[in-house]
Chain A
């Protein structure tokens, strides 16, 4: 994802609606992608991941979609709940030489309103 400086993009949704958070990644050779959720005052927590040989993966209430043609990743959250309010980061494994090296996007703030 691209840096947005001081202000994170914010997605505001109503409780119960579906949320879609988007991310553009930089390296067409990246073979692994991952989404994290970060609540205030805490470290990022794993949500879901996907490898480049897949274009969709589902978890509990979450789905990740990968479009390698346009280097785009999205996270869909079904039936969004107040507890989903957080900053969401995508990351790609950008590792020449075969090592793990996760590079994070700027993040998107999700605000869930009752």
Chain B
């Protein structure tokens, strides 16, 4: 298996632009998670899905952030409009099911908002 695949690997954009991050979870995994990592706040859980349904989005910082999972093999995290304080590494992770909590992480997207 190729593991969790994220794209792009790096994204540089200007303040006010829309940013879309993409994730393909491991096939057969029921759970998908979006985390954000910064030096100040560490690894923060933004949102997670179970069987494509958003379960908990309490970590999404503002209405500028939105996430979708249209099918079992694809998810997006969108920021519109982006701001410099959104600069961070965004990780997608997946896990198999309720009894297998181990997360498998992608390589992350390094986002820089200028």
Contact = CB atoms under 8 A, between A and B. Distances in A.
Interaction A to B:
yes
Nearest to A43: B105
30 contacts: A3-B41, A32-B101, A34-B102, A43-B4, A43-B91, A43-B93, A43-B105, A43-B106, A43-B108, A44-B43, A49-B101, A89-B43, A91-B103, A97-B55, A98-B98, A99-B50, A99-B98, A100-B31, A100-B50, A100-B95, A100-B101, A101-B45, A101-B56, A102-B33, A102-B45, A103-B45, A105-B42, A106-B42, A107-B42, A107-B43
B107 A43 contact: yes
Interface residues of B, number: 26
Contacts, number: 63
Given A43-B107, A99-B56, A101-B48, A6 B42 contact: no
Interface of B: 4, 31, 33, 35, 39-43, 45, 48, 50, 55-56, 91, 93, 95, 98, 101-108
